[in-house]
Amino acid sequence: MSGQRGRPRQYDAQTAVDAAGKVFWTKGFSGTSLDDLSVAMGMNRPSIYRAFGDKEAIYRLALAQFTSQMEEGFTRAVLHEVDIRKGLRKFYRAALEVYSVGESPLGCMVMCTAPSASVVNPNVQADLLKVITQLDAHILGCVERAVEQGQISEVSDAKSLSKLIQAVLHSLAIRARAGESKASLRRFSDAAILTFLGEA
């Protein structure tokens, strides 16, 4: 029996998906070619197909990886913060740091690329709805906890309030990609928190 091991992989899967994600984030799903992905991932087409599947499969992996990172950010900012207003302020600001990085800010990878891709890709549409629904649920839990603790007044429709809080995040992403300044977006997010939740 030979002690020779199989050939090691010449790539790191997470790094390759992250590289692909940056291309999709910049060019969108339809604007990204397999040649773009091959260059970014440092792999030829056959190797990409064997490791990850087709373009849609790679895009969905990149979306999942980005979403996981954003969920970690939400957990750190909001769930670990006692006061909901402080937590949301930290979360919006952390998101803005991601959305506004570089000379040409790209906004949110999910919200700035998935809506158009979902029109012709049912799987992407399902992924997008899942991301939105999960974040709604996370925010709803925070709102309900804040009401129970007396941080905010009783609300008539906590679910709709949670969706409005998430809608601000979407607006920040689009406005950042459109070129609105980080300072302006910080003021906008602070005003939204005050409008939705009132003063402490």
Whichever domain contains 69, its CATH number is 1.10.357.10
Does some domain include residue 120?
A: yes
| Residue 192 placed within a domain | yes
CB burial class (10 A; 0-12, 13-18, 19+) of residue 122?
exposed
Residue 128 structural domain: 63-197
**In whole angstroms, what is the distance from residue 92 CA to residue 154 CA?**
23
In a domain? residue 132: yes
Nearest-angstrom CA–CA distance, 61 and 109: 12
Q: Each residue's pLDDT tens digit in the chain (200 positions)?
A: 444 444 345 568 889 999 999 999 999 999 999 999 999 999 999 999 999 999 999 999 999 999 998 888 888 888 788 899 999 999 999 999 999 988 889 999 999 999 999 999 999 999 999 999 999 999 999 999 999 999 999 999 999 999 999 999 999 999 999 999 999 999 999 999 999 999 87
Q: Is residue 188 part of a domain?
A: yes
Number of domains, the chain: 1
Asked if 41 and 11 touch (Cβ cutoff 8 Å), the reply is yes
* Residue 38 belongs to some domain of the structure: no
119-171 pLDDT tens trace: 999 999 999 999 999 999 999 999 999 999 999 999 999 999 999 999 999 99
